[in-house]
Amino acid sequence: MNWQELAEKMVQTQIAARGITDERVLEAMRRVPRHLFVPEPHRNEAYADYPLPIGHGQTISQPFIVALMCSLLGLQGDEKVLEVGTGSGYQAAVLAHLAREVHTIERIPALAEQAAQRLAELGLENVHVHIGDGSLGLPKEAPFEGILIAAAAPRVPQPLLEQLNEGGRLVAPVGSRGWQVLERWTRRGNSWERETYDSVAFVPLIGEHGWEG
């Protein structure tokens, strides 16, 4: 099978089959060559139904979780979005097909640099990679219509809630270092509505409003 066939099979059997119906998300997942974001020796497992190591003790998330988090943001295409935890750059590439402008921030410089190179090679000019502590958000680019935290937080960082604009949504795994629940927070003026979804297991968010390193 070529990679497009593997991506199509992944979308049908892992994502649509589990109830993701947002056609824009399904199409974005078909279009991004996931194998280019997975280093050897795991590249031949790139379209499998689990997370994979990307070096530096970090992971690229399971395809279904990437799709679920993107669909919870409910993007229409004209949004400015922040991702915390660039990792391989894969989820940022998916978001690039769903939003107008994507900012993604990673604390490990080597991962950020590799991701930026991959995203540039794919011609995804609406993604901007930053290096730093994303638990503080990205005040110089705020506000955002969507924020996605791709690392486990003990609680949702207050600076990130404040960088949402009215009606904006934040999706994050929140809980202990071992397991978390996906939460979606929606801004309504100066209060935030919280909904809970699936159980997940992410690597920790390390930083001022996350866990200690």
Residues forming contacts to ligand SAM in the complex (CB under 6 A) are: 58-61, 84-85, 87-88, 90-91, 105-108, 111, 133-135, 150-151, 202-203, 205-207, 210
Coil, helix or strand at residue 59: strand
In whole angstroms, how far apart are CA 9 and each of 12, 15, 124?
5, 9, 24
Q: Catalytic residue at 61?
A: yes
Q: Which is nearer to ligand SAM, 138 or 190 (CB)?
A: 138
Instruction: Determine the Cα–Cα distance for residues 158 and 150; give it in Å rounded to an integer.
Output: 16
Q: Which is nearer to ligand SAM, 14 or 58 (CB)?
A: 58
Q: Which is nearer to ligand SAM, 140 or 188 (CB)?
A: 140
CA-wise closest residue to 15 among 84, 78, 94, 79: 94
Q: To the nearest whole angstrom, how small is the minimum distance from the Cβ of residue 23 to ligand SAM?
A: 21
Q: Which is nearer to ligand SAM, 179 or 188 (CB)?
A: 179
Q: Could you tell me how far CA 14 lies from the centroid of its own chain?
A: 17
DSSP class of 7: H
Q: To the nearest whole angstrom, how small is the minimum distance from the Cβ of residue 180 to ligand SAM?
A: 11
Q: To the nearest whole angstrom, how small is the minimum distance from the Cβ of residue 19 to ligand SAM?
A: 21
Out of 61, 71, 88, 135, pick the active-site residue: 61
E strand or H helix at 23, and its extent? Answer: helix 23-31
Q: To the nearest whole angstrom, how small is the minimum distance from the Cβ of residue 71 to ligand SAM?
A: 15
CA-wise closest residue to 186 among 211, 156, 161: 161
Query: Which residues are part of the catalytic machinery?
Result: 61
